[in-house]
Structure 1
Amino acid sequence: MPATHPAIIDGHNDVLLKLYRAGGLAQAGSFLTGRDGALDLPKAQAGGFGGGFFAVYVPSPMDREARDAEMTNVSYDLPLPEPIDWEDALPVVLSQAAILFELERQGALSVCRSVGEMRAALAAGRIAAIFHIEGAEGIDPDLHMLDVLHAAGLRSLGPVWSRNTIFGHGVPFRFPSGPDIGPGLSDHGIRLVRRCNQLGILVDLSHMNAAGFWDVARHSDKPLVATHSNAHALCPISRNLTDDQLRAIAESDGMVGLNFAVAFLRADGRKLSDVPVETMLRHLDHMMGILGEDGVGLGSDYDGAIVPEALTTVADLPVLRQAMADHGYGAVLIDKLCRDNWLRVLERTWGG
């Protein structure tokens, strides 16, 4: 990537889960040398990937291939996986966090706790990694573990994945469907949101149903952020955000990261990879029409989703940059979408 292009900040990847499943700490070195996946250091350097949200996620025992096959149909309604007790989730959370810190020890990235640290890492040519947890199963009801993880570097948390927790209810993978499915935050969830506000932990609205979304909007005093979600008006799947939700995010001066997952991009909601990059630009245009040029970024879901064929790995990110330019986006807007908007909203959430 030419030096004239600032490195891209991305709202979501699942490389820690992939390394955990492949063997844990022993696989950390493959991130530096190259691995069979969407994100590693050589691909990041080739594609101008500068960093972003590295998700820690506790997987449910499920047949992933069967779920993916079901989502290729013209309609589907996948049940929510069973909840996971925090005592069972915590070892997985700690194992994946340990991989993140091992990557830092090996010099692959810097775990950043402030925007100043992110800027310093980017200036030094190091991946600026944000410690993020997708689904709060590993957090106890008293929130003691939240404080401990924050001290370790946690700066972003999704109270739910598409699975219920003691804090709230996830939105199932359902097409066609709106997100208004089930109840919202529990009393524990309201306390979680308020404590995250106090600590400066971003609360991620992705995977949250409509009731939970509006509960966060009522109880949070920080910008509303969905790290990896798309426009429901263009792809009516339960996981995407309605225009009313986008307007609420805009009113909070928050933002949304464009999810590359094909089932959240395609008008037919099918999990098939033959998606032109122009479809992604339509989502960007729609969301910017409501959120403005300062309210949209990227949230790829690399290593956690089936993505368009032209953007299989982070090494392909220049394809998206070029498509933005060909679509008529100017250089300033492209820089906002690729990096600056994330830095802006994180500064508002964390401070400098």
Structure 2
Amino acid sequence: MFFHSSQSEALSFKTWRNNSTRKISPIEGEKLAIETLKRLWKNEYFQTILTAALIFLVVLGIYYGAQAALGTPYPALAVASESMRPTLNIGDLIIVQKIDSAQINASKFYGDIVVFRNPYKPDDLIVHRAVEIQPAGNYYMITTAGDATGGSKDQFSPWNSSLLIGRVVARIPYIGNIPLLLRSESNMYIFLLIFIMLLIILMWPSGEKGRPTENAEKRRYFKVDLSHVFYIVSNIIIVGLLFVSLWGSYTIWQPGATPPRAIILGMYRDVQYHESFPGVKAHLSQGFLTHQIYCEMTGGTRLGVPTFAWYPFFIIVLILYNAWKIRDFWKNWKVRKKMETTPSSRTR
């Protein structure tokens, strides 16, 4: 049967209207919703945005969880001065826990390292070692000193215990350099620009279509598989970071610190740095993911802070990364073997 153009258009419109007004059953609606979610889940842009949102939520959860667990609004702080060297260095991230003033252990050598508000500038936070504590009515008067001064009291002492924030219970080297860099407004814009560029790169469509074998051939350049190059380079980087965490010694520009520099020290270099101070004999105590440096000095032994050890972390990363890549290589090898044998089996 043939129709004129106007009749065909009228029929098409009628069909579209009937389809659009047709009621969808609950089962069909559920199937349609599932298909829509599947297509959305496979979308690269959606996956990138979802990953970024999850990372943000995880970081936010860790921060507020740490506040609740450690009982302080400042669970993690970056060291921005040299007053506590060599115990704490610029760029260290210190973990702070709330403590009652009466429980503070005060001593020139093994006193608690505490964080408190600057009596003259309450917005500024100071981290020093408690060397003396005296009761004063309902409060305590606390005397503190920086380790770099050899135990001489600082210009803030004695200060009222109402200014106390908490006690330093651990430190993570290097990580504090990131928030220190963000203290500068210009650096914040630079980091924001880098983040946006990375987001654009991640969301940029790959443009690779076709079978896995075709995509693999596209990744080859001068008969070299780029995935293998990436694997080798990644291992070199991880091993390099492992050696830096043990024997590295670098001075970097740090505009957010006073003075504007930070020292990157590996674990063994840090021990040597402690011993570079007059009259100090350093001892290293190691745990699974932590280490601690004690300084034997004239008059006593100065306690260090439990420190996150990067080298076992990088060893774990190296093992897990290689195990994951070997699993992928083995899986891809089996797929290629299967694809190679399938045509021959068909010809038989």
> TM-score, length-normalised on structure 2?
0.22
Q: Which has the higher strand share?
A: 2
Greater C-alpha Rg? 2
> TM-score, length-normalised on structure 1?
0.22
User: Which structure is higher in RCO with an 8 Å CA cutoff and minimum separation 6?
Assistant: 1
